[in-house]
Structure 1
């Protein structure tokens, strides 16, 4: 497997060329500076989850599009082989189990939140849905202003075109699976 920064850079370059966009156009669409986009494309910079979400939303693609490397029909995923995405600001680590597949229209992550973590997510595009399944700890999921306290085994789905955040207000690690479905 290639270095994650290399994969992200290659995929950003490919989507940009496929859409016939210049770096300036991508910067306008995403709000990410042209120099930063150039560094990402060259594999020099490893963007945070928040920055990748910003780019993905601006280009109207899934987050995992940027980390996808294999297109095999059968996929066996060994957790220890996954290169995680970090958001050090909010203490969140996301493991892309099944990156976005255009035929299936979804992606699957395992996400860990450290104690005290508060990860804010901007609204996704219309038609995007999230499905959350808590596997460890208690997750406080805030959608707009409503707080849902999810415990191990609890699940929740919601239209993700609203402001939402994932919070761990406990003193133990929280783990959950996040399935993101992209309606077209």
Structure 2
């Protein structure tokens, strides 16, 4: 049985598309609180959440109702397409960073410095997930690096092993100084 504190933390969403949920109601919270923590995106006046964010909310104590039915964390995890993305997302949240998934972009996540709000600051890092054994093509890496630097962010490669262990590597362009 849930205690009254957990009972108050409920989020009601409805599925609106592939990997997309529209917020219907939050009890004991507001949309601004989610925005401040880098959870969801406001689009046309509606808060849109991704499955990975619903998993996180469930883990931190929210009851999640989708289309009127309560859904547990195990069911929510099944909605996440990439287990490696979930591993990285939860690890960065545990470390105290605000992290947002990127949909159909050259990188997987935008990350803000600890203590910086996504509402009034720009991301500091872009994370690209690299799966052990699959690697990344050199040209793809260079293009992602160029994109990250053009946006004024630091590219971080998240190498995820087959056991789910994450190692983070900062990537940057080395510009040699001309000698005299």
Q: Judge same fold: TM > 0.5, yes or no.
A: no
Q: Which has the higher contact order (CA 8 A, sep 6+)?
A: 1
Q: Considering only CA atoms, is the larger Rg found in Structure 1 or Structure 2?
A: 2
TM-score, length of structure 2 as denominator length: 0.30
TM-score, length of structure 1 as denominator length: 0.30
